[in-house]
Amino acid sequence: MAAPYAGMVMDARTGKVYYSENADTRLHPASLTKMMTLYIAFEAVENGELSMDTLVTISQKAASEPPSKLGLRAGQKIKLRYLVRAAAVKSANDAATAIGEAISGSEAAFARRMNRTAKEMGMTRTTFKNAHGLTESGHLSTARDMSILGRHVLYDYPEYYNLFGRKTADAGVRTVSHTNRRLLDSYKGADGIKTGYTRAAGFNLVASAERGSERIIATVFGGKSTATRNAQVEKLLDLGFRKAPSRIALHRPGKPRYYGNAGTGGGTQIASASQTDSRARGKTIRVVTPSVKTSLRPQMRPVPDAPLLVAEVKDDINSLLQEAQKVEVTEIQQVAAASIPATATAPAASVKPVSRPKNVVLAAATTKPTPKPKVAQKDAEVVSRISTSGGRHWGINVGRFTTKYAAEKMLLKTALAEMATLDGSLRKVVSRTQGHDANFMGMTREQADLACRRLQARQVTCFMIGPS
């Protein structure tokens, strides 16, 4: 029995829908599921739960997942970045399970986190049961929800989006190839996102393409083959580009709130309001176990027993002023006495400025002027080379790509994400036999160093390029 068809076309810039058919029918998403697995991995890295260089130990469960897979062994240790590449490019099931277990401790807890994140995004008809998307009872989604998820992947983590368009990638243990190179090669502007196939789901695909300032997302569920699915997606992308305006304000989707693993395996429980009222999408209610028995109001810090100095209230304000003047006179007398020799007669105390006694001799009056040292006349120096440390002869590299288009795209995305340090620099693609280098040039050494450190903090590969 053929899987049911569903499709949707969305303007990625605004979320406006140009076409939908069975878009709200709950169907098997297959490996489209991995978009959410990877989204949560990006979120976990961003919030410091782990890093791309974290070593993940492969469990027996992850190693035993059926193909498509990377071929990992139980007990093997591998960096998270290689698991992410394998899941995004090859759609490896063992890598997806390992990612979920590394973040949440178990695939079941990770699935609960996936579902909570989906509800925060407004994916109201999606239920995840696993991290890879293999057919499981109740593991369902819709063309609309997967289009929403693809849009969040694109705009919430643009620094990682290029993973979904790589034709090949180093997955640590071996190089993996993209599951849909045909569409990437054949359709102008196509740069991702994710394929999926199981017998129950059919051939699924969420694809995105960019032409000029326009970007379209097209989703297909239930294709009969890779070829027919790709043909339908190309048809839907064409429809989207025909209807999309060239100029329109970008309205990014609201990024879901971050909760980490809270509520996925105990502790604070989070119930989505959209489960009980479909009109309350996006709202959440915190249900906290009432374990606090006393008030949380801060207590006053204890102080040692000591008499408090309190200013006595005077009935007559004038008496206060006179008392303050007496204190001022006493202070002036002390200062004057300290500055006059013992044999001198101290001037009478007064609130008026007191002239310096004539018998006070300033030390500077008897000091002989120090002769200035003679400076030998130097010959004029001849500068043969100007230092480049302060000149704009430095740059940075943010990656090497298989196509010039991909390098230019990375430069543009990086410039938009890091405008503070890259403003005024020159975007330059250097084509070599090994690939196309994406460089920013025309920077000082300090600017290049700062830009690289900021980009590396965003998990963007970067190194400095010195003056040639």
3-state helix, strand, coil in the chain (%, to 5): 35, 20, 45
Smallest CA-to-CA distance from 444 within 392, 388, 397, 395 is with 392
Q: What's the Cα-to-Cα distance from 431 to each of 337, 338, 404, 407, 438, rounded to whole Å?
A: 82, 79, 7, 10, 9
Residue 286: C-alpha distances to residues 13, 115, 289, 399 (Å):
32, 16, 10, 43
For residues 101 and 68, give the distance between their C-alpha atoms in angstroms, rounded to a whole number: 18
Q: E-assigned strands of 320-376?
A: none
Q: Give the C-alpha separation, 222 to 199, whole Å.
A: 10
179 backbone dihedrals φ, ψ, rounded to 5°:
-80, -10
Comparing CA positions, the residue from 38, 149, 135 lying closest to residue 86 is: 38
CB atoms within 10 A of CB 246: 9
CB atoms within 10 A of CB 310: 6
Calculate the CA 199 to chain-centre distance: 37
Which residue bears the tokens 């029995």? 1
β partners of residue 203 = 197, 223
Q: Which residues contact 135 (CB under 8 A, 6 or more apart)?
A: 28, 30, 198, 199, 200, 201
Query: Backbone phi, then psi, for 215, in 5-degree steps?
Result: -135, 130
Residue 262: is it exposed, middle or buried by C-beta count within 10 angstroms (0-12/13-18/19+)? middle
Q: Which residues, in sequence order, are bridge partners of residue 17? A: 10
What is the distance between the alpha carbons of residues 264 and 266, in angstroms, rounded to a whole number? 6
Residue labelled with tokens 């209610």: 285
Q: Give the span between the Cα atoms of 85 and 321, in whole angstroms.
A: 79
Output DSSP code: residue 88.
Answer: I
Tell me 359's DSSP state: T
Mind telling me the catalytic residues? 31, 34, 91
Give the Cα separation of 8 and 29 in Å (integer).
14
Please state, in angstroms and as integers, the Cα–Cα distance from residue 330 to each residue in 318, 333, 336, following that order.
19, 5, 10
